[in-house]
């Protein structure tokens, strides 16, 4: 069975949930502060005077989130690494090789956790700025005299709130310049780290058991960083340059060469690794389990729908808006349940358990 970053997606979803919960706390704070004294003539002035207080409260919320994330990310990376190890042990058992224990296990987990946390911690100042900016913008839009001719202050504030924060706290950019929401940004960083950890656990264990060769298996979707390496044989140590399999010479590339410059297992990669045993393994270059992958993606899409309407409920300034958002939440939750009923494997068994490498 191959070790796959796709496994990391499952673990990262739990971290994303933590972020989604914290985001609701932040949105509620912004909404409550805006809603207080909305009928007062000096509402806009009061709200701008309260900005510093709001910022202080949001800073504390984000510090609490950072502390929770430090624990959750470490645990996620450790579990991903251990899973990679367990998969390697299964591979080695099947091959009749006695599994060894990697010496650098703790160090690998620490390094990857630190990398993920460095990215995740950078999100807090961006989130603080985005929430404070949205607050000021809502005040500006809801106190504009032109607007108040047609709309009441509450209506104007509601449409500004939905517009600015209905999709969550945004404004995150990755190194490739793509935009993310707070939740998707943290989820992406954690998923990438967990994928790296699963592959490290797999390859470290193979190496500790005297196995130097593996091959990349293309992910469940096209992967710009790995597709060129599909089916190629790689050396973990870089010490093997070729092997003979079934009487034919097979070229072997050092792993470090393949992974240099974000090539193999680059950003957003969900590909897998498999043990390569000369003369026994026929590298499998088919994308594993695309149907299961699609079902998982659909599940995440439906879950995002639930969270979108939970945010809208929190942002509601009137009982009517809250009620209609609640109905939408139930609606999307029912769709998630239907989807899970139709795909019973989605929660019960990790999808990767269905993946079989060609051996």
Residues near Zn ion (CB under 5 A): 219, 223, 226, 269, 271
Query: How far, in Å, CA of 345 to CA of 354, rounded?
Result: 9
Detail the DSSP E strand segments found in the chain: 170-173, 179-181, 213-217, 233-235, 242-245, 248-254, 272-275
Q: State in angstroms the smallest separation of the CB of 232 from Zn ion.
A: 13
Alpha carbon separation from 122 to 116, 192, 302 (Å, rounded): 10, 16, 28
Which residue, 219 or 288, has its beta carbon nearer to Zn ion?
A: 219
Torsion angle defined by CA atoms of residues 308, 313, 317 and 320, in that order, rounded to the nearest 10 degrees: 120
List Cβ neighbours of 206 (8 Å cut-off, separation of 6 or more): 88, 91, 92, 212, 214, 236, 275
Q: State in angstroms the smallest separation of the CB of 7 from Zn ion.
A: 13
| Residue that is written with structure tokens 């609640």 in the block | 326
Q: State in angstroms the smallest separation of the CB of 288 from Zn ion.
A: 12
Which residue, 119 or 217, has its beta carbon nearer to Zn ion?
A: 217
Q: State in angstroms the smallest separation of the CB of 268 from Zn ion.
A: 8
User: 215 — phi, psi (to 5°)?
Assistant: -140, 145
Dihedral sign from CA coordinates of 295, 297, 300, 305: negative
Which residue, 77 or 264, has its beta carbon nearer to Zn ion?
A: 264
Q: State in angstroms the smallest separation of the CB of 223 from Zn ion.
A: 3
Q: State in angstroms the smallest separation of the CB of 255 from Zn ion.
A: 14
Which residue, 263 or 335, has its beta carbon nearer to Zn ion?
A: 263
Which residue, 43 or 229, has its beta carbon nearer to Zn ion?
A: 229
Which residue, 207 or 271, has its beta carbon nearer to Zn ion?
A: 271
Q: Assign 214 to helix, strand or coil.
A: strand
List Cβ neighbours of 58 (8 Å cut-off, separation of 6 or more): 26, 29, 30, 128, 131, 132
């Amino acid at each position: 069975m191959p070790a796959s970053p796709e496994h990391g997606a499952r673990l990262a979803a739990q971290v994303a949930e933590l972020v989604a919960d914290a985001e609701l706390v932040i949105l509620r704070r912004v909404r409550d502060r805006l809603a207080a004294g909305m009928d007062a003539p000096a509402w806009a002035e009061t709200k701008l005077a309260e900005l510093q207080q709001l910022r202080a409260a949001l800073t504390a919320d984000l510090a609490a989130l950072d502390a929770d994330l430090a624990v959750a990310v470490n645990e996620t990376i450790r579990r991903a690494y251990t899973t990679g190890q367990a998969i390697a042990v299964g591979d080695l058992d099947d091959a009749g090789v006695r599994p060894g224990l990697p010496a650098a296990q703790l160090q690998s987990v620490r390094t990857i956790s630190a990398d993920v946390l460095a990215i995740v911690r950078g999100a807090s100042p961006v989130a603080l700025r985005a929430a404070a900016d949205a607050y000021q913008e809502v005040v500006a839009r809801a106190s504009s005299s032109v607007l108040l001719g047609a709309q009441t202050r509450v209506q104007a504030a509601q449409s500004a709130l939905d517009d600015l924060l209905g999709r969550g706290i945004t404004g995150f950019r990755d190194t490739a310049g793509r935009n993310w929401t707070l939740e998707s940004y943290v989820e992406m960083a954690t998923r990438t780290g967990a994928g790296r950890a699963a592959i490290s656990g797999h390859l470290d264990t193979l190496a500790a058991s005297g196995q130097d060769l593996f091959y990349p298996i293309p992910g469940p979707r096209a992967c710009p960083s790995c597709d060129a390496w599909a089916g190629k044989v790689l050396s973990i140590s870089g010490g093997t340059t070729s092997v003979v399999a079934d009487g034919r010479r097979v070229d072997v590339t050092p792993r470090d060469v393949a992974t240099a410059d974000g090539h193999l297992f680059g950003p957003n990669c969900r590909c897998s690794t498999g043990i390569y045993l000369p003369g026994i393994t026929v590298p499998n270059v088919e994308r594993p389990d695309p149907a299961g992958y699609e079902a998982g993606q659909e599940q995440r899409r439906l879950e995002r729908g639930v969270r979108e309407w939970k945010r809208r409920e929190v942002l509601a300034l009137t009982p009517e808006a809250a009620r209609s958002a609640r109905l939408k939440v139930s609606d999307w939750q029912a769709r998630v349940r239907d989807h899970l009923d139709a795909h019973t494997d989605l929660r019960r068994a990790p999808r990767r358990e269905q993946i079989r490498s060609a051996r």
